[in-house]
Chain A
Amino acid sequence: MKKILTSIILITAIQLSTTAQTLTGQAFLQQTVMGVQQGFGLRIQNQKGWGLGLVHQANMKSAAERAGEKYPFYGIEALVPLTKCGNMRFLFTPKAGLVNEQFFIIMPEVETEIKISDTFSAGITAGIRARQSATGIKVLIHL
């Protein structure tokens, strides 16, 4: 698993370094098995869609069963382009990082990015968190 993750990050970094890059900020909401999480991040991406990013997300309110548990996640994401169709781009966006500053997790995710204007895009995500589906929406601002 460690090797797969390292390979994805390395390939992405190599792809990223070969062409011009853009910086993109993102804010998102994700429905997970722990509850609705809000998050934000910063990603660097080339024109083909390859990229790397930093992500933070946490529950908007404490999980129902446990007071105070917000499952904060800090991690990195890799952006691997899958296909493009008009204004839409499909990406594989696995995330890896620490939850509660202690527990390492990997979240496989796919993202559909819809270009609204040169500055703004919207995104829809589908992923897996704790063996359950996690769906989300996001706003991307190309800086």
Chain B
Amino acid sequence: MSTIRIRSPAAYWLAVPAALWMLCAVVVPALLILWVSFWGGRQFSAASPLVLDNYTRFFGNQTYMNLIVQTLIHTATLMAICGVLGYCIAYFLVVKVRNAKLRTALFLAFIIPFWTSALIRAIAWVPFLGTNGVINNALMGLGLIDRPVEVFLYSRTGISMAQVSLYTLMASGPVVYMLAQIPPALREAAMTLKAPPGVVFWRIIFPLTLPGVVIGQVLVFLNVMADFATVATIGGNKIALLANLILNFYEGAQIRAAAVVSVILMACMLIGVVAAMRVVDIRKLGA
């Protein structure tokens, strides 16, 4: 017994406002994008004939095809870096740090920047990366280079550096959650049975944290694929990925092309999420 009866009409009606809001703000707009991507003609009109021209034009352009490949490669790189780094940090925080206060302090230091503006954090990387930036000055001060190197600002290296600092927490958080659920007795049992540390990790700990790893990878994947702000801030106008293309098309009043890119982006994300769901059942996480 609780303040709400199971399967009562009240429960149903309480859900209606939130459901309606999400339908109007997310589901209907997504369907509209799909619809507009098939519009022919030039007017912005619901009476536009439905054609495939927008897609054939997009897929016929080699530059755009390259952009899709580059975006996927860039995202995969970030997933790998953030995944390994995030797992190491999660493992250290949960398993290696014994002092509860120290663990809380480190965890807060890890998580607090995540709650501040991602835009500001991306901008904060700019003074680091320029030819006159902190990194170049430090490298020159150490005598490692004698001329400023230009690989950082307006480059994919610089974008990746900033994105690693932005998204590692997303790869790490779910792993922390899964690691914290593993009873210590499990490891002790394995050790008692003379399993070497490597075997304990790869055969027991890692498989148990796999759902967390996958969720983390999905989060990094979704965020990097959709991140246009870091790319625009650090890449200047020199680098563009798929999400920036939507922005460019929209600002150039090419609504149909923007819709096509959006649909492709959504399709990529959907495939990614479905593939991840095949590996693990996300619903089990909450249980």
The answer to whether A and B interact is no
Residues of B within 8 A of A (CB): none
